[in-house]
Structure 1
Amino acid sequence: MTEKFAVIDGSSLFFRAFYALQLPPNARGVHTNAVHGFAMMLVRLLREHAPTQIVIAFDKSRTTFRTALYPDYKGTRDKTPEELVAQIPLLKKLAGCLGIPFVEMKGYEADDIIGTLAAQAAAAGAETLVVTGDRDALQLIRAGLSVLLTKKGISDTRRYDTAAFEEEYGFAPIRLIDMKGLMGDSSDNIPGVPGIGPKTATKLLLTYGTLEEVLSHAAEAGGKKLSASLIEYRDQAILSKELATIKCDVPELRYTAEDFRMQPDRAALEAFCREYELRSVWRSLSDYLAPQAEAADVEQSLFAAEADEIDLSAADLDAGLDMNALRSAESLAVAGVFEGTAPFLRLTALALAYGEVRGVLHAASPHFSAVLSLLSERPVILWDAKRYAQAGVGISAHVVDLALADYLLRPEERLRSIQRAAFAYVEELAAPQTAEERTVYAAYTHLGSGAPLHNEQTAFYEVILAAQLYAPLWAALAQANLTRLYAEMELPLVPVLAAMERTGVAVNRAALARELAAASERIAEIERDIYALAGEEFNISSPKQLGEVLFDRLGLTSPKMKKTKTGYSTNAEVLEELRAAHPVVNKVLAYRMWSKIRSTYLEGIGALIRPETGRVHTSFNQMVTATGRLSSSDPNLQNIPVRTEEGRAVRALFEPGEGYDALLSADYSQIELRILAHMSGDETLIDAFLHGQDIHARTASEVLGVSLAEVTSAQRRSAKAVNFGIVYGLSDYGLSQDLGISRKEAASYIERYFERYRGVRAFLDKVVADAHRDGYVTTLYGRRRALPAINSRNFMQRSNAERMAMNTPIQGTAADLIKIAMIRADEALRAAKLKSRILLQVHDELVLEVVGDEIPQVTSLLQEAMSGAAALSVPLAVDVHTGKNWAEAK
């Protein structure tokens, strides 16, 4: 059997894992994200490449033989973050538990350990794979030795052998060191020859072969400037090549296959993962290691179970269901089998778990309707209650929606699922012992296996996890003081959202077709203008081609101009900076805006009109944002521009449907500033709102020391930028960019603002200080947002977390208030038995479809529901407008 030797660049991949995986510290405040990410990468390597031997190479220190040659080697690198340094001992422990040698040597880098062991292994006939994020390792490629290079994060990889390398570079792998000698390496602070980049270095090597040959032909190697540089920096080029060369002959390092065989200690691994709360690491690694256990263990192991071998015939409850036992059961968990597409779902079966019963009940059963009625009568445990509401099932006020609970506890989770929640909270998943624990683990394994499951199997496993997940998840919710938020806000909102989704909003198809044609004509016109101004035709949507036109052909320059390997940056920030430099820039920005309107809104909305209703049924996502705000998708109706003519044209397409006369918009006025006034207790802000003053004019008056009557429109605009930016951690640079003033002027304005609004300054300072202490912030209603980077040594990460700390209590409380308002408004409309109904929620606005003669009553109900959503120290003002379409109603 051919030996397979995997040599892991621990230093490189551990560093990448640290930045690729942003996870909060564990319950004891210990950061484990780098260990977690590295372990996931390791599992993937083991599964996909099945090495027979493995080693982790690591840097011992920054002082090596290279720093002796050149003291500035790697001298430009930032200090390693303490949160990463603190995890290195954990990585060593993990390696020890897995029986993977962890090698580091004084005076040498991990690269040299890798080079020595990999070269020896390849020479001994082992199929050798170097796993790294550092392109320097490509120089090691040879017969029997390839490199698996991470391209982005730790999961996107490309394997290089000699052929792949030569296809990309054009020369042999070993010549990479000559290339580094010529062009240097900024990441390692290798100087190279000034003025030589990748293209020139490659051209020289393809012509002369090696660095030494290039230098010997320096006089004729290129133009005068290049020749002069090669002659002047000859010694520096030779030194750079030496610095870039990985040593393959480190003393005392010997490759012997038996020394590098992986010898895991499962008990030690489990103890380690338990100690540091690395449950998903334990699951993944133990899942991989289990098939390698002894045959007797394998026979009883649930890790190796096949998901599609489970026979559900014994779990059929259609005939033998005991309704009395079901009604009196202490706890009841359900999982539905749904057909159709949201928001029009049909419930065709229910998996049930109560007492010792685990089974599936079909819609054809005589008990099915009785069981469904229980969902509106008694506490029921389930995952994602909105699915049931979309299927027309009544939801009890006592329903335990595990998905909503998980969201409140872990709002930053991006891949929310019942199996991920189960592994986070169900202790037995780590090491199943009893029959019940093994059943739970089997359910987790089957749902997470990726194997094909039919709907009943999925529901069967989901209900098993739901039954087990309830106790620990609900206990965690109570411990975090989130049960009231769940019961009074999030759960009552579920049927409101489901009803809005099923209702949808009517679209004027004829107007849509006209707008689409007009947009296409407008885009074509702008294209012609751009080509005329540029003097040539090109792909306007190609950043590379656009950059060449703007910066090479037209010669435009900008302080924000950047050139990468793929070309010039032409992002919005760069183009905004260039607006006044050439008329083509305004045309390009207009082209992008119209293209987005056409593709995202006009074409997108048209494709999503349901033929059977003639309406668009957007999805309101309740469990996505970290701040608690609702989001909208398919289509996203929350991002349609409000203040532009183009945005209003899109909004005008949404009209009242048949049987309704108008759309009504009810919008909170300056809600975030009112919440800031209340939460900060700032007397000046509160006084302005209590007296109904123009808050932006009042701010200008306070900061500039003029009377309200003397405030100009320009001064009011400046004050408005500060008012809305202050809770987002507005910087002097940001304000200077917004207002077109110097940073010094902007800093002075912000300083004067805080002198007049001392309560705001004290509040924001306290919020940030509390976040540093607790690791999270809360809204007025107790909603939490974890800020794992709040104490990071990395300035950018820490500063960003501090801005989130300032903003989240305000924005999150605004999100809470509109949710309360939606619930109150829906209840009021139903209680009054009105036909008018809520269609949309967009940030601080509710949009309703109303009947003409109900408008006065609906207006009154809406204002009362929204203004009374909270008792703040300032009034909650609500603006209400109606119109024949959404644009007119705004």
Structure 2
Amino acid sequence: MHNLFLLDGMALVYRAHFAFMRNPILTSKGFNTSAVYGFANALLDIIDNHDASHIGVAFDTRAPTCRHELYPPYKAQREAMPEELAAAIPYVKQLCKAFGIPVLELDGYEADDIIGTLAHRADADGGIHTYMVTPDKDFAQLVTDTTTMWKPGRQGNNHELLDVAAIQNQWQVESPKQVIDILGLWGDASDNIPGVPGIGEKTAKKLVGQFGSVEKLLESTDQLKGKQKENLINFADQARLSKELATIILDAPVEVSWDDLVISQRDDEALQALLTEMEFNSIAKRLYGDSFVAGRGHEESTTTANEEPESANLKTIADVEHSYHLIDDAKDLHQLIKKLSLSSRFCFDLETTSLDPRSCQILGIAFAVQAHEAYFVHTGAGSKLSIDMVLDKLNVVLDSKIEKVGHNLKFDLSVLLAHGCPVSGPFFDTMLVHALVAADQRHSMDFVSEALLGYTPVKLADLSQNSKGADGDLFGFDEEEPKPAKKSTKKKEIKMHLIPVDELADYAAEDADVTWQIAEILRGQLEESGQQPIYQNIEAPLMPVLTAMENEGISLDIVALKGIGDSLTKRISKLSEAIIEAAGREFNLNSPKQLGEILFGEMELVEKPKKTKTGQFKTDEQTLSALAPKHQIVADILDYREASKLKSTYVDALPQHVSSKTGRVHTHYQQLMTSTGRLASNDPNLQNIPVRSVAGREIRKAFVPRDLHHTLLAADYSQVELRVMAALSGDEAMIEAIKADLDIHTATAARVYGVAMDEVTSEMRRNAKMVNFGIIYGISAFGLSQRLDIPRGEASEIIETYFKQYPGVKNYMESTIESAKENGYVETISGRRCHVRNIDSKNGTIRSGAERAAINAPVQGTAADMIKLAMVQVRALLDKQEAKTKMLLQVHDELLFDLHLSEQETLVPQIVKTMENALVLPHGIQCKVETGTGDNWLAAH
């Protein structure tokens, strides 16, 4: 039996493109390769792991089909293909050609028809089992004993095989061919197949199950009643038409033989060239081994199919003359320090035994002051130099005004601070600078080196291959990620001590050397980008502030946390019992699929439940939240989910994050993870602890002051994004309300509903609050109607009235979108550029998403700039006064402090003043900071 795989090319590339929509895979030149990458991985999985003997990839063409002639509106409502996807499709076809796989296209026919014809032909010929690789439900009609649907998995999940039994069960039919009848009655919104009004999926299945086909149903309308009978009589022709439109053609003139589809030898020259252009390092290594590096933005490989594969014009340490020196005695160390002290800047890089700054050991420090020359001060086993002595000697340059260069410098600063060696600025961090000048790209040192220098640094994994000990490899990691020694946040211990000293010296020295060279290029790019003030005034000064905050950590009351956990466990148990009782049977509460079947299949809570792209009932938070006020079981499910998440994410996990060295919890902050500059907390994430729910607030009780001489101080910007919107838009009414210190939501409600301030009801204020914050995120009438659970027309009227009352806001939104289209970016008040992709896309969904991002980015980005500046200035205030109070956490618009009781009266007003004036807003808008203190975080908040 041969295995024929027929791939629905267009469906697969669409799926791959949108799977990476939030974090697209871009080359160093900015080309979006998400579709090519996703398709390539799917193709390789089939070729390598699933015994394929024959394979073909079918695509639609632009030519109209017989369905368009039959019904001109067919697929007429479909959004235009995203431009980035359209640009990627030729590369997908090149990929197929390089693998020797036929691309099957036929004017007048869809990919469905090509696959249907070949599958039908294979069934007739025998000896072939066909796998139709597609997520499209329409293909269910083609399933036979020797034709199976191969439904790709999502988010790394395994694919799903749908055979005859699976289709019978899923569609509730006797034969897969009856799927056509169901689609004829139900219609298909994505293809603009009309179906019959009033008949949805569930009813269609029921009717086909009862009558067998559309034709027999239409002959039996006398057995029906009411509106259903009326619609089937009135729309009988439309039902027949819809069935014909939904029927996949089985006799298209596809001129291809089985021999044409036999997997043939790939064209390595073409494939290597394509992988190089696409910069697919991981796929290249998978196919050609570690010696092949696809590269970043360099010329195509000239390797022929008969030659050993080589890197794509990228140099390595073996190709470049260099002078790297191992230093392991006091004399050479003294000479190095002298050299560093005479330099205007130097690059340094630590090599450590782990990624925990407070528990790792420093094996050495690499330095560079010019290209191709570097030094490694060895402090590990066998060295004559101890780390304490080295740091004591190096203090003269580390604590000087000489500029320090590095990649992800905060890690190095954190390690040194934990070892009692603070480092003074100025700093030039190549990772942060690259994030500012090339926000859409990856920022690992390897990526940046290949993109800017055409040079591939030595991989830690390469060293581990030759340095295995009793415990195996030093480290396991993805080559696409930054080097784990200091340039990622992976938790696994690195067995660096297994690496021979001379190899470690070259590896570390190369890091310093490469980073130095990158920095020299990035200096010019930073100036050209217009982001130099952002880096110099905000990001660089913030680095040591974050380092100090991370090093401080925060105290956790384990006993209190356990009590919270016990309460959550009891609540989870009670909610589980209530939900099971209401459902009428046992089921897995943590399974979205089973939950959907209970709520919408068995209990039928809504008439037309929404479904995911995979055909499951939607049970996401937004869907359930809209139903919770009407159905107790749904409210209980939401409470159950929240309690379960709080327990697993915080109650169970937080104790594991208490440092054995300090007894405190130390989060880590990423400065430029988002384009708006918002800080991101991780390992553990302390920014996502819910504050609006009772259960979420309870978790904050476990965070406490360090001792009896301190209390926790929370200083929170009040409605900062609304104040920023007023400043950006210059809207007179909004500015007037803020300056008068009115409740902005009540003031908005009064204007929108045309009533006096004292006549605003709680519901009016709630709606106005939703509009105020929704406008910042570019909310639509549909979005507002969903959030407020009101008709779309009413929501549209509220928004229209809002804009009449605040015309400056509407003008801001329109001008911001136009500016984004013209420049490709928007700016915060500070001048931070937030790049906006696809703002001029012809695809309405993508374009509207980009427009919302353009509206929101200057607001959110300005708020981010403000709190970053506040952190820098508050830290300067604390240092100047030699305060015992310490800044601990930044959570959205809030700063949390260990406030020394002796400084409460004098210091708190100064902190408030500093925060309120950290960033001067236009139009005289004054920021407002509210404070609270307490013996735990909740009490302070």
TM-score category, normalised to shorter length? 0.7 to 0.9
Shift of 1:197: 7.6
CA spacing shift, 1:650–1:217, aligned 2, 3 Å:
closer
CA spacing shift, 1:304–1:647, aligned 2, 3 Å:
closer
Q: How many residues align?
A: 854
In structure 2, give the amino acid aligned to 1:630: L
Contact kept? 1:836, 1:849, Cα under 8 Å: yes
Alignment partner of 1:806 is 2:805 = no
Q: Distance in 2 between matches of 1:239 and 1:499?
A: 67
Which stretch of structure 1 is more off in the superposition, 816-825 or 111-120?
111-120
State the partner residue of 2:153: 151
Post-superposition Cα deviations, 1:791-842, rounded to whole Å, max 9, x if no partner, equal: 2222222222211111110111101110111111111111111111011111
State the partner residue of 1:402: 430
CA RMSD of aligned residues (A): 5.3
Alignment partner of 1:880 is 2:908 = no
The one of 392, 405, 409 equivalent to 1:385 is 409
Contact kept? 2:144, 2:164, Cα under 8 Å: no
Q: Distance in 2 between matches of 1:315 and 1:886?
A: 50
Shift of 1:767: 0.9
Q: Distance in 2 between matches of 1:821 and 1:637?
A: 19
State the partner residue of 1:756: 805
In structure 2, give the amino acid aligned to 1:152: R
Post-superposition Cα deviations, 1:438-496, rounded to whole Å, max 9, x if no partner, equal: x6588999996489996466646644542443344443332221122112211221222
State the partner residue of 1:431: none
In structure 2, give the amino acid aligned to 1:16: R
Which stretch of structure 1 is more off in the superposition, 766-775 or 755-764?
755-764
Q: How does 1:119-198 map to 2 (within 5 A)?
A: 150-152=152-154, 158=159, 165=163, 168=166, 178=177, 180-184=179-183, 186=188
Contact kept? 1:409, 1:477, Cα under 8 Å: yes
Q: How does 1:177-256 map to 2 (within 5 A)?
A: 178=177, 180-184=179-183, 186=188, 243-247=247-251, 250-251=254-255, 255=259
CA spacing shift, 1:14–1:533, aligned 2, 3 Å:
closer
Counting aligned pairs with the same residue, the percent is 32
Alignment partner of 1:889 is 2:940 = yes
Contact kept? 2:182, 2:208, Cα under 8 Å: no
CA spacing shift, 1:693–1:468, aligned 2, 3 Å:
same
State the partner residue of 2:364: 349
Structure 1, unmatched stretches of 5+, are: 206-210, 429-436
Shift of 1:602: 2.5
Q: How does 1:329-348 map to 2 (within 5 A)?
A: 332-344=346-358, 345-348=360-363
Q: Distance in 1 between matches of 2:269 and 2:621?
A: 53
Post-superposition Cα deviations, 1:661-696, rounded to whole Å, max 9, x if no partner, equal: 311111112211221222222233333333433333
SS at match of 1:791: coil
Shift of 1:591: 2.9
Contact kept? 1:505, 1:617, Cα under 8 Å: yes
State the partner residue of 2:865: 816
Q: Distance in 2 between matches of 1:484 and 1:575?
A: 45
Which stretch of structure 1 is more off in the superposition, 555-564 or 483-492?
555-564
Q: How does 1:484-523 map to 2 (within 5 A)?
A: 484-523=533-572
Q: Distance in 1 between matches of 2:609 and 2:434?
A: 42
State the partner residue of 2:666: 617
Contact kept? 1:117, 1:253, Cα under 8 Å: no
Contact kept? 1:303, 1:442, Cα under 8 Å: no
| TM-score, normalised by the number of residues in structure 1 | 0.79
State the partner residue of 2:470: none
CA spacing shift, 1:417–1:4, aligned 2, 3 Å:
farther
Q: Distance in 1 between matches of 2:588 and 2:150?
A: 35
Alignment partner of 1:417 is 2:436 = no
CA spacing shift, 1:128–1:375, aligned 2, 3 Å:
farther
Contact kept? 2:100, 2:263, Cα under 8 Å: no
In structure 2, give the amino acid aligned to 1:889: A
Contact kept? 2:115, 2:132, Cα under 8 Å: yes
Contact kept? 1:505, 1:839, Cα under 8 Å: yes
Contact kept? 2:568, 2:643, Cα under 8 Å: yes
CA spacing shift, 1:525–1:64, aligned 2, 3 Å:
closer
State the partner residue of 1:606: 655
State the partner residue of 1:835: 884
Which stretch of structure 1 is more off in the superposition, 810-819 or 639-648?
639-648
State the partner residue of 1:105: 106
Q: Distance in 1 between matches of 2:195 and 2:751?
A: 57
Post-superposition Cα deviations, 1:273-320, rounded to whole Å, max 9, x if no partner, equal: 99xxx5514895598568895699539768999999x9x998644366
Post-superposition Cα deviations, 1:477-524, rounded to whole Å, max 9, x if no partner, equal: 322211221122112212222222222211222222222222323333
| TM-score, normalised by the number of residues in structure 2 | 0.75
The one of 303, 308, 314 equivalent to 1:298 is 308
Q: How does 1:16-95 map to 2 (within 5 A)?
A: 16-22=15-21, 23=24, 33-35=34-36, 37-38=38-39, 57-64=58-65, 78-81=79-82, 83-89=84-90
Q: Distance in 2 between matches of 1:760 and 1:782?
A: 20
State the partner residue of 2:452: 426
Shift of 1:534: 5.1
In structure 1, give the amino acid aligned to 2:452: V
SS at match of 1:614: coil
Contact kept? 1:840, 1:847, Cα under 8 Å: yes
SS at match of 2:653: helix
Shift of 1:765: 1.4
Shift of 1:336: 2.1
CA spacing shift, 1:61–1:716, aligned 2, 3 Å:
closer
Which stretch of structure 1 is more off in the superposition, 12-21 or 80-89?
80-89
Q: Distance in 1 between matches of 2:715 and 2:618?
A: 41
Which stretch of structure 1 is more off in the superposition, 599-608 or 364-373?
364-373
SS at match of 1:244: coil
Which stretch of structure 1 is more off in the superposition, 376-385 or 655-664?
376-385
In structure 2, give the amino acid aligned to 1:244: I
Q: Distance in 2 between matches of 1:552 and 1:142?
A: 27
